[in-house]
Structure 1
Amino acid sequence: MGKSQTKKKTQAWRHNPIRVPDAHVGAGKAEGKADPGKEKQMLPILKKLSSPEYADRTWACAAICNLIQNDAATRRLFQSRNVVGELIERLSDSVDEVVVEASGALRNLAIDGGHELCGEMFNKGIMSHLTTLTVKISATIDTILASDPSVPREHTDAEAQARKHLLALSENIISLIWCLAEASHKTLNAVNGAGVEGLLVKVVEGRKVVGAGVTLAALQALYSLTQDNRPFTSSVLRHPSAIYALAELCREDHTPAEEAGAKKRSKKGKGKSEGSEEVGDGRALLSRLLACGILRSIVKPGSRSDEDVDIQRLTNEVIMPLVNEMLDLDLPNITNRVSQLASEAAQTETDKPSAKDLKTDHQSSAEQTLERIERMLNTVVVALEILTGICAGLEDEEEKEPAGPGAEVEEEGMVQDDQDEDEEMDSDEAEMDDEDLINEALDHADMAEDDEDDSPTKVNTAVTIQSLLSHHLPQRLAKLGQLTPLSFPPAGSQPSSHPPTTSVLSTLHLRSYEALNNLLLTVVASLSGSTSDARTAETFPLQELWSSLMGTVQMVSSEPDVLMERGQEMRPEVLEMALGCLWGIIKLGPGSLNITPDQLQLLLSLSPLLRTPLARTRLIESLSTLASRPSVTSSENQLISTSLLSSLSVSNEPETTISLVNALIDIYADETREYDAVFRDGGYLAALTSAVGGVRAAVRKVDKKKEREMRARGEEAVENLTAFIKYRRQLAKTS
């Protein structure tokens, strides 16, 4: 339905937590045969994982990281030799350095391998090791935080090395927790039960001591775990200092930390080339935004926790200004720079250390800049996710809880009585033919009266609509949605020139359209019943938005076969969300849009490319509004209505059928419109009459027990269709 708003990110839309989906990289898209040279190195490395010498075990873990990086084929080869199980065993090694390297290798496997590999880790018992390590890390952090910072002391080499190991281990373990939380409901439930919220909050509290890397990992994990995850959210809210620590970080200026990080990098200066500092590190800014997103997820306005936060005030004074600063990217310039840097990185690839060296984090200047650009784009994605929630102003109907112990039983009895009554009605209807249904239909006047009883949609946003529009959000969000040459993986077996950037760009486009979709729907609801078309047209550059979105729709739909390829899952996601935005634009000002014949033909051809009934319903509603807009010509009306009528004759999908019936009734509900001759002269009345049986059959497919709301809408559509036919027949007799 067009009124569907996206309030939070859906976990399934995130391919994996940090980097690029496996299917985006070349070895994952092609046949994926492993490099023979790497294959020869595999067995000696695996043998050294269980060597009695800790140096060999450490080297083997580090070498695995080198060999599998962005190489799905080699990773699968190692998987076939149980590398995951071997590395999990090393998490209980007696030497800290081995544990650190093993956790790093597992973290990289989880990042590159995604959900499938996280599932394998879970099945091979990683959770017990992670639980043990989180307790150990938490206790060590307690010791560090408890030390008096006012008393200066020099650390011995052993203490410094132990601290270095702790920080590396903490970041790896927390990142693994994040990956597992994103993998599946089974792994998410395991993380929920592991009690990791205490460690994550502790890291946020001690962020100035544990460092930017560990803090960012903890916030990423918290951000992921608090999305539509009530058990974990409740645990965080029960933590005595979680809300305070997050609110403090949310209000904390990130600029000094970013400047300090830039100075630290400039002092190192080794291997730095021109342009290597063109993008800031961005970890402090991303951390602050994640804290904002976590608070907006867990603190509900008017709740007990809101007494300490005042989330509405925080949103207006801190979060929205911070998000607003993130929305003015020059994506074409960024993608050009990424392509240039990727080419430079490829030229220096041969100079990288071999597997025998332990410098697994060695990066060229180009690679470092690419990583910072990627982090910057991911920061914008988080900002857009927060903005999507802010713009979601349509209130949901809250489920009513049973009044007492016997209420639930009583409700079940009422449902059963309703179902018995529905079955009796179905039996009676089955004995009636289409003409009997039409003769017993309601009058047209009764239909209109029922529609008028619908209560207006409630609109409630933390930030006022006027404030949102004052930032020119529609234009800026539409600009972020415009595609670039790196937005999607290329068709075929060749990967993108820089797959991580392509992965995050796809998500960025989707998030920008989600935010725009929510904003448009909220404005549509707020202006319902308003007659000020001029005001709407002035507020929104409707034609500019229309042209921008149609450009995206045209580009994505121009390669229909690619939409179904593995690794191209984001193309149909972006297409369907862009159509949702078009729905809002059409509803806001259909009469002010200049729609070309090519654009109309494109919209009429899209239905087979859409994967869900929801997307098809949005498209049908949009076409219905275009067919009845003030400036529509009879030929345009005929083109659209003929297409809808043709779809109705072949549709067997209940939700689509219901939408088609409602659309055709809406188009021709007013017989005084100039285009009504299309209905009268085109034989539409006879076509709708012959469709009654098919519509009724489609509605009966809907299970009343599982989809009562859709069944009710379907039955209403049948009633409206028969009443409409009856009314049209009466008009034909009197004319």
Structure 2
Amino acid sequence: MGKAQYKKKTQERRHNPLRVPDAHLGSGKGEGKADPAKEKQMLPILNKLKSPEYADRTWACAAICNLIQNDAATRRLFQGRNVVGELIERLSDGVDEVVVEASGALRNLAIDGGHELCGEMANKGLMSHLTVLIGKISNTIDSIISSSQPQKLTEEQFQGRKHLLALAENVISLIWSLAEANPKTLQAVNALGCESLLVKVLASRETLGLGVSLAAAQALYSLTQDNPPFRRAFVSYPSALETVISVIEEDHALVESSQQAKTRKGKGKDKQVNGAEQDELPDGRALLRRVLASGILKNTVLAGSRTDEKVNVLALTSGTILPLVNGLLDVNLSDICSRVSELAQLLPKEGAINPGKDFKTDHRSPVEVSLERIERNLMTVVIALEVLTNVCAGLEDEEEAIFNGAEIIAEGEDDEIDEDEDMEELFADEDLIAMGRDPSLIIDENLQSTTINPGATLSHLLSTLQLPTRLNILSQLTPLSFPPANNQPSIHPPTTSVLSVLHIRALEALNNLLLTTVAAVPSNDAAASQLTGTIPVRDLWSSMFSLIRTIGSEPDALNMKGQEMRVEVLQMALGCVWGTAKLGARDLDVQNQNIQTLIDSTAVLRSEVSKVRVIETLASLAARKSVSDEQNKVIGTWLLQLLTSSASLTAEVLIATLNAIIDIYADETRSYDRAVFVQGGFLEALSGSVAKVRAEVKKIDKRKSRQLRTQGEEVYENLVAFIKYRRSLRL
């Protein structure tokens, strides 16, 4: 227990394309209060979607997109008029420009509407249209690539290529959004066979440009995460891995400077935004594309696998990927928040829009462009942290064996034995204790086999790169990290959303690094001190509790809709507290308030893993050499009450609680033993819980949770042996 690493990313925590949860928006938008001025414009715009004039149809697609941006209430008004179905129908329009704008509107709907709208799109036939469009885009790209000599394009050809690139970017972004939405839409995306298009786009990035190739990288990164069917198709596709490696090794700075030169050519002076240059920030798309490619490779190639024979992922990680990621970790979040606050004041006021005839779905003011660049740069750091989390995940726990025929038969025999053992439930606690194992046979769970295989040497990660300190800095909250707890919107919801995820990713990477270090600490005290001496445990301890106190200072917000990230960050911070306590409990200045904070936190945690982490952290603190009788008593009494209370405990928490009590009081020579364990009547309370523990362990379904059942049986037997041993000391 407590060894949970963070390799998988739940869809709820993905920042983009499912970008800003409705509840972040505030001002009634997430609750259904639509802007009356926008509502008045709705029907005329919808009617123009079926206009005989293609210019009207194009305009209507763009207008819809901009009316509902970051406005859930208005979006639902349009949904009630079947706007999704109408836009999907426009994907088969005979005019390319209409198809482009319709796909752009659907893309933006998917980004802003998230899971709900992606599911609706799939249900209303979007996938069949995507199949047709993927084929059309792929064939056109093939014709562009096959042109051996660059030719001067006619105006019609130029517009056609422009439409192709915009359509390709929109379609690939839709694929990306659908892959993130839910298992059903992910399965539908897998069935599209889109890996060929995505690899082709990425391989032709120089010809096709940054926009569409970045979308392809984003889609591939998402599709290769925890998705074996697509991962197999991708790895087996010719040149797929070679293409990804070429992106990783590409100098993004040269790509971006070349792109900037093309953009500025013939435009004269840069545009100004209230006296500030629009291009003050790097575009960042080539850098993000390169970091995403690094993530794609880490998702698809396991070190030492047959695929890795041609790749050598460890060499690429140490030589290219890790230096790339490392260069992104020193971002100053306080400065970014200040800049976002300034720019947010310059955004145009919301309300009804009056777009001109040439209005497009991608229309952005200079201020919005600057804010998007900030968001993109933060997202690049998020993906870099996800890659780093993978690098720091150095533990390979033994997987439970897949049952073969003989094991199934044995399982059936176990069921028969279970039926016979049901009679044990009639036995009293003392009868069960008498039947228990000998005290000399107590099993130490820490002796279970674990392979340590970090993506880089620990000394490099801890000492050279100083990752604990730098990840700690990135985990600290800013004024924009969460939506306000007063139901008002953030001044810029996209920035708030990405900052929340960034903190979580930094804590996940730190958690994995600490976890790997705990497993790697040798038994030799001198060697252990040398390894852990590079980790600032006191600073980490102080910072994590400061973060926990900040989140706890607004307790009502923890249960509010739209504030789910607060609990996510809290759980990650508690995981890092666990690692810090395991590595340096003897060096920590543990205050009584720290212990009470850990105990109180279990009431709001939603993850069983996090609750187990808190219990194990408290056990480490209670057993440290410098612990006072008072602190030991507070922890021990709480654990005992947790075990013996009438409240139902999950199997994971029950096992962790018993292990903690046995670990703390296994050595009767400790100074606190008599004052707490003996005088507190702990032995008698434990003896009276044996039948309850046995009954709870037998409730664990060994078919569904074989390993957990084994752990439960071991801890039950350890409890009985522990009771016997403690009783023998009285003789």
Tell whether the structures are fold-level matches, with TM greater than 0.5: yes
Confirm or deny that 1:322 pairs with 2:332: no
2:271 match: secondary structure:
coil
Partner of 1:187: 185
Structure 2 residues not aligned, in runs of 5+:
none
Which residue, 337, 341, 344 being the options, matches 1:342? 344
Which residue, 387, 410, 419 being the options, matches 2:415? 419
TM-fit CA distance, 1:603: 1.2
CA distance in 1, matches of 2:622, 2:370: 50
Look up the equivalent residue of 1:424 and give its one-letter code. D
TM-fit CA distance, 1:363: 2.7
Confirm or deny that 1:373 pairs with 2:368: no
Partner of 1:628: 623
CA contact (8 A) 1:27 1:73 kept: no
CA contact (8 A) 1:537 1:592 kept: no
CA distance in 2, matches of 1:453, 1:109: 50
CA distance in 1, matches of 2:205, 2:499: 29
- The two structures have a TM-score, normalised by structure 2, of 0.96
Look up the equivalent residue of 2:319 and give its one-letter code. E
Higher mean C-alpha deviation, range 322-331 or range 437-446: 437-446
Confirm or deny that 1:54 pairs with 2:54: yes
CA distance in 2, matches of 1:134, 1:453: 52
Confirm or deny that 1:159 pairs with 2:157: yes
CA contact (8 A) 2:18 2:114 kept: no
Which residue, 683, 686, 691 being the options, matches 1:685? 683
CA contact (8 A) 1:520 1:584 kept: yes
Which residue, 590, 593, 618 being the options, matches 2:588? 593
Partner of 2:98: 98
CA contact (8 A) 1:517 1:584 kept: yes
1:165 match: secondary structure:
helix
CA distance in 2, matches of 1:549, 1:666: 25
Confirm or deny that 1:435 pairs with 2:430: yes
- Map of 1:199-218 to 2, 5 A cutoff? 199-218=197-216
- Tell me: CA distance 1:616–1:276, structure 2 relative to 1, closer, same or farther (3 Å): same
- Map of 1:396-415 to 2, 5 A cutoff? 396-398=397-399, 400=401, 408-415=404-411
Partner of 1:548: 543
Higher mean C-alpha deviation, range 533-542 or range 427-436: 533-542
Give a deviation string over 1:692-722, Cα, whole Å, max 9, x none. 2332232232222222222222222222112
- Map of 1:11-50 to 2, 5 A cutoff? 11-14=11-14, 16-17=16-17, 19-26=19-26, 30-50=30-50
Partner of 2:235: 237
TM-fit CA distance, 1:29: 6.0
TM-fit CA distance, 1:78: 0.1
Look up the equivalent residue of 2:281 and give its one-letter code. V
- Tell me: CA distance 1:511–1:495, structure 2 relative to 1, closer, same or farther (3 Å): same
Look up the equivalent residue of 2:170 and give its one-letter code. N
Partner of 2:221: 223
Partner of 1:480: 474
Confirm or deny that 1:386 pairs with 2:367: no
TM-fit CA distance, 1:385: 0.3
Higher mean C-alpha deviation, range 594-603 or range 33-42: 594-603
Look up the equivalent residue of 1:396 and give its one-letter code. D
TM-fit CA distance, 1:263: 3.6
Which residue, 489, 493, 501 being the options, matches 1:499? 493
Look up the equivalent residue of 1:462 and give its one-letter code. G
- Tell me: CA distance 1:488–1:355, structure 2 relative to 1, closer, same or farther (3 Å): farther
Partner of 1:198: 196
- Tell me: CA distance 1:47–1:597, structure 2 relative to 1, closer, same or farther (3 Å): same
Give a deviation string over 1:284-324, Cα, whole Å, max 9, x none. 00001111110111112233322221111001100000000
1:410 match: secondary structure:
helix
Give a deviation string over 1:196-219, Cα, whole Å, max 9, x none. 000000001100011100000000
- Map of 1:520-669 to 2, 5 A cutoff? 520-532=514-526, 534-650=529-645, 651-653=647-649, 654-669=651-666
CA contact (8 A) 1:271 1:364 kept: no
CA distance in 2, matches of 1:540, 1:397: 28
CA contact (8 A) 2:507 2:573 kept: yes
TM-fit CA distance, 1:436: 0.7
1:395 match: secondary structure:
strand
CA contact (8 A) 1:261 1:281 kept: no
CA contact (8 A) 1:29 1:495 kept: no
Partner of 2:451: 458
1:539 match: secondary structure:
coil
CA distance in 2, matches of 1:202, 1:28: 44
CA contact (8 A) 1:111 1:179 kept: yes
Partner of 1:130: 130
- Tell me: CA distance 1:446–1:304, structure 2 relative to 1, closer, same or farther (3 Å): closer
Q: Percent of counterpart pairs with the same letter?
A: 57
CA distance in 1, matches of 2:31, 2:7: 39
CA distance in 2, matches of 1:198, 1:114: 26
Alignment RMSD (CA, Å)? 1.9
TM-fit CA distance, 1:681: 0.9
Partner of 1:405: none
- The two structures have a TM-score, normalised by structure 1, of 0.95
Look up the equivalent residue of 2:364 and give its one-letter code. Q
CA contact (8 A) 1:15 1:21 kept: no
Which residue, 458, 461, 467 being the options, matches 1:468? 461
1:26 match: secondary structure:
coil
Look up the equivalent residue of 2:602 and give its one-letter code. S
CA contact (8 A) 2:459 2:531 kept: no
TM-fit CA distance, 1:366: 2.2
Which residue, 699, 702, 706 being the options, matches 2:700? 702
Give a deviation string over 1:177-209, Cα, whole Å, max 9, x none. 000000111110111011100000000110001
1:556 match: secondary structure:
helix
CA contact (8 A) 2:271 2:277 kept: no
CA distance in 1, matches of 2:445, 2:34: 66
- Tell me: CA distance 1:8–1:183, structure 2 relative to 1, closer, same or farther (3 Å): same
CA contact (8 A) 1:63 1:356 kept: no
Q: How many residues align?
A: 722
CA distance in 2, matches of 1:351, 1:32: 17
TM-fit CA distance, 1:455: 4.4
